Chains A and B, each alone.
Chain A
Amino acid sequence: QVYLAESGGGVVQPGRSLRLSCAASGFSFDSSGIHWVRQAPGKGLEWVAVISYDGSNKNYADSVKGRFSISRDNSKNTVQLQMSSLRGADTAVYYCARAPYFGSGFDYWGQGALVTVSS
């Protein structure tokens, strides 16, 4: 059974950093791309970042480029999202989602981690 679980959410002051983690199980983790998608309260889905199956390719939405960094550890079946210089606009539920192959849909999602940026 495919399982994704985010952790590391919480309340953080503007300008500070936070690290989210996504733990995966139930599938060949080192064969799948992993994406982060966020959803601000009462708003729509926004794609944030992607890391390829082997970590060699990474890409980011313009809204987070230069502030967020995605990485993975295939030995531990985890993906991290390091978020720095956080702003109020980054307040959202952050989901990790699996894309089993290039261009595929996001077939499995975690339950989400709430990040609140507030002083």
Chain B
Amino acid sequence: QSALTQPASVSGSPGQSITISCTGTSGDIGAFTYVSWYQQHPGKTPKLMIYEVTNRPSGVSNRFSGSKSGNTASLTISGLQAEDEAVYYCSSYTDRNTRVFGTGTDVTVL
């Protein structure tokens, strides 16, 4: 199972919006609505930010939103803040009853 494809880095200025893409296949993202996103700060444990494509867990800012089209999922961060600087990973359930993570995207706030 190959990793989902994410851009290595994305950057934006404070207050701007950025979007991170996550491309999979018809056997994972394209087949299911079980796509989730995680935020990981250096030296910290990953934190769930979005689940089932569009849902935010309690306590996660509404500046974070998710979507999906075909084999590609996306995470949008609006009103970018310094605290959003982290690595973001997507993940999907697969047709082999496994999970797969994305390659990770380093978000920089300029």
Contacts and interface: CB of A to CB of B under 8 A. Distances in A.
* Interface band, chain B: 20 to 34
A107 B57 contact: yes
Interface residues of A, number: 22
B98 A106 contact: no
Contact of B46 (A45, A59, A61, A104): A45
Given A105-B51, A106-B46, A111-B45, A45 B98 contact: no
Contact of B32 (A47, A103, A106): A103
Nearest to B45: A109
A41 B37 CA distance: 21
A92 to B, nearest CB: 13
Interface in A49-65: 50, 57, 59-62
Interface of A: 35, 37, 44-47, 50, 57, 59-62, 95, 103-107, 109-112
